[in-house]
Amino acid sequence: MTFVQLIECRTSRLDEMNRLMDDWVAGTKGKRTATHALVGKDRSDAAHIVEVVEFPSYEEAMRNSNLPETDKIFQGMVALCDEMPTFIDLDVVRDERLAEDTVRRFFAALETRGELPPLNDLLDEDIHSHDPVNPQDTIGLDNARSEFRMWRGGFDFAFRVDDVLAQGDRACVRWTWNATHKGEFLGIPATGRDVVMTGMTLFRFADNGKIAEMWWQHDQLGLMQQLGALDELEQ
């Protein structure tokens, strides 16, 4: 379970403290166990500083605390604070990664059997989709649904989400697509062949939390080869 340490202090020397943190990052390179650190300043009290540091576990946090570089930085931090910093150790009991949940639900919706779901709970009305298979960008929810129906008309498929990386208003997904060619696709009659395609999709989220833009990268050439569309060219 992920472990979080909450550090609170009061200081009017935030710039010096930031430089101190930079020294700690440089000094513990390759040894520190912290995976994410965030520093915030209280809007109602500029001297009130809160740092949130994430670790893979409590044990890893203790190992990080025992580094000589950490102790040195702590002493420097105490010297910069108006009073002794306070530390709160937190076991994370709930961790909602909203962007990751949204993109996973999106891929699950695309492979739904029967009618394509409306997708209006996932995609912004003004969605922009950039896909190299199309000569122009697909703009608008209705047009995006039509594009997805084209793929669904040509294939029975399922996505395997291999990796999700999310930061700010962006999320990047590496996926594997397994499909059976059941209908006409880009002028190619149904072959009944089982095909596999890998790719990545970058998502941008709107302020309402819905997907506003998508950039697709996939092995289109490999797909065409598996469908036999390049056989005549290779002869």
Question: How many Å separate Cα 171 from the centre of its chain?
Answer: 3
* Span 179-197, average pLDDT: 95
Kindly indicate the confidence band of residue 64, based on its pLDDT and cuts at 50, 70 and 90: confident
Task: Return d(Cα 132, Cα 161) in angstroms, integer.
Answer: 20
pLDDT at 35 > cutoff 90: no
pLDDT for 199 equals 97
Kindly indicate the confidence band of residue 234, based on its pLDDT and cuts at 50, 70 and 90: low
pLDDT at 235 > cutoff 60: no
Task: Return d(Cα 91, Cα 168) in angstroms, integer.
Answer: 24
pLDDT > 90 fraction of the chain, expressed in percent and rounded: 69
- On average, the pLDDT of the chain sits at 92
Burial class of residue 155 (count of CB atoms within 10 Å of its CB; 0-12, 13-18, 19+): buried
Contacts of residue 180, Cβ cutoff 8 Å, sequence gap at least 6: 155, 156, 157, 192, 193, 194, 195
pLDDT at 190 > cutoff 80: yes
Return the half-sphere exposure (C-beta side, CA atoms, 13 A cut-off) of residue 146: 8
107-144 burial by CB neighbour count: b if 16+ within 10 A, else e?
Answer: bebbeeeeeebebeebbbeebbbbbeeeeeebeebeeb
Count how many residues are written for the chain: 235
pLDDT digits (tens, 9 = 90+) for 68-84: 888 888 898 899 999 99
In the chain, the domains with their CATH numbers are 3-91 (3.30.70.100), 98-234 (3.10.450.50)
Beta strands 194-205 and 170-181 are antiparallel
pLDDT digits (tens, 9 = 90+) for 91-131: 988 877 889 999 999 999 999 999 999 999 999 999 999 99
* Span 128-153, average pLDDT: 95
- The structure tokens 């961790």 sit at 95
pLDDT for 136 equals 93
Higher pLDDT, 35 or 153: 153
pLDDT at 232 > cutoff 60: no
pLDDT at 233 > cutoff 80: no
pLDDT > 70 fraction of the chain, expressed in percent and rounded: 97
118 φ, ψ to 5°? -65, -25
Q: In what order do the strands lie in the sheet with 3-10?
A: 36-41, 48-55, 3-10, 86-91
pLDDT for 224 equals 93
pLDDT for 67 equals 86
